[in-house]
Structure 1
Amino acid sequence: MSYLLETLTKKKEIDTIIRDTIDKVIVLRFGRSSDSLSLQLDDILAKSARELSKFGTVALVDIDSDDVQVYVNYFDITLIPSTLFFFNAHHIKMDSGTADHTKWVGAFHRKQDFIDVVEAIFRGAMKGKLIVNCPLPPERIPKYQLLYKDV
């Protein structure tokens, strides 16, 4: 399914989509096309892309590409898939009850969950918010252990 979504492999491509997309949520999925959870998420993203097209744009980022490591390091992407959200060149955070508000780690359980999250981010961002509350119930938010290096 991921062939339906644009794949970004260069920092310049990521910079451009974040900078040049106005009044739409940019959804960047960081992962690998060889990873089963990334593929599961890609399937949901691809099936949602048309419904989101008025207020969101989805792109995939291959974390193995050397040119995107500045983003991988900056957003501390150690677990994949990780999904980041941007709006009018601002990184939008989401409080989903996990320790990390900067990104969504893991796949969404279903297409409607993803659409609900992007819609909540869009509504919040249109009101100028840089952090929004996750609209999903806790049982549909992936649980993971944060791994801290050198602790």
Structure 2
Amino acid sequence: MSSYPLTVLTKNQEVDAIIRDTIDKVLVLRFGHASDPVCLQLDDVLSKSAREVSKFASVALVDIDSNEIQVYVKYFDTAFIPSTVFFFNAHHMKMDSGTADHTKWVGAFHKKQDFIDVVEVCIAPQKLNGFKAAIYRGAMKGKLIVSCPLPLERIPKYQLLYKDV
């Protein structure tokens, strides 16, 4: 499977435009550094999956090192990188994956199929061991928060740290 070139966003206006202009598709924004090893692993999964999900999703990379993107970095609290945020028709989609933060996916997907299952889900329920619902299917039903279709062992673990609490 060949990789698919992904758009890199470095300005607030670019992020605003892609969120506003992506209609009837899931928009997947990966926030991170181009040089970070975990970001590179995730970027590889995203680029290899982009063609397969292109009918129902668009994928773009947001360079958090850009000074012009910091409003989104702060808004989505991307202290952990990579952080992947989902939108549908300009609405921020949330996903309950059993972690403390439902606003984004933190870390890399273990494999290409995990990403596809999260974005689309239920194409092949037998592969998901009975898990159902995710971003695209939930969005098409008008939901703004969906359940993660992946088993717990394939969801990255992290611990939220609160400053001055």
What TM-score, normalized to structure 2?
0.89
Moved more, 140-149 or 50-59: 140-149
* Residues 1:3 and 1:49: Cα distance change in structure 2 (over 3 Å): closer
Aligned to 2:136: 122
Q: Cα offset for 1:150? A: 1.7
Size of the aligned set, in residue pairs, is: 151
Question: 1:144, CA displacement in angstroms?
Answer: 0.5
Task: Report the 3-state secondary structure (helix = DSSP H, G, I; strand = E; otherwise coil) of the residue aligned with 2:42.
Answer: helix
- Aligned residue for 2:58, secondary structure, equals strand
Shift in Å, 1:3: 8.0
How far is 1:148 from its partner? 1.2
Identity of matched residues, %: 79
Cα deviation for residue 52 of structure 1 reads 0.4
SS of equivalent to 2:94? strand
What amino acid does structure 1 have at the position aligned with 2:153? E
Would the alpha carbon gap of residues 116 and 128 (structure 1) be closer, same or farther in structure 2, given more than 3 Å must change? same
Shift of 1:126: 0.6
Contact 2:110 2:154 in 1 (8 A): yes
Contact 1:27 1:86 in 2 (8 A): yes
Q: Partners in 2 of 1:144 and 1:105 — Cα distance?
A: 8
Residue identity opposite 1:146 in structure 2:
L
SS in 2 for 1:108: coil
- 2:38 counterpart SS class: helix
Distance 1:70 1:99, change over 3 A: same
Aligned to 1:89: 90
Letter of the 1:94 counterpart: M
Q: Which SS does the other structure have where 1:150 is aligned?
A: coil
Matched, 1:131 2:145: yes
Deviations 1:56-76 (A, max 9, x none): 000000001011100110111
Unmatched tracts of structure 1, length 5 or more: none
Post-superposition, which runs of at least 4 consecutive aligned residues in structure 1 deviate over 4 A?
none
Spell out, residue by residue over 1:83-122, the C-alpha distance to the aligned partner (whole angstroms, 9 max, x if none).
0000000000000000000000000000000000001200
Residue in 2 that maps onto 1:40: 41
In 2 relative to 1, CA 2–39 (structure 1 residues): closer, same or farther, beyond 3 Å?
A: farther
Larger Rg: 2
Cα offset for 1:2? 8.5
2:101 is the counterpart of 1:100: yes
Q: CA RMSD in A?
A: 1.3
Quote the residue 1:11 is aligned against. Answer: 12
Tell me the residue number matched to 1:67. Answer: 68
Contact 2:4 2:48 survives alignment (8 Å): no
Scaled by the length of structure 1, what TM-score is found? 0.97
- Distance in 2, matches of 1:33 and 1:73, equals 19
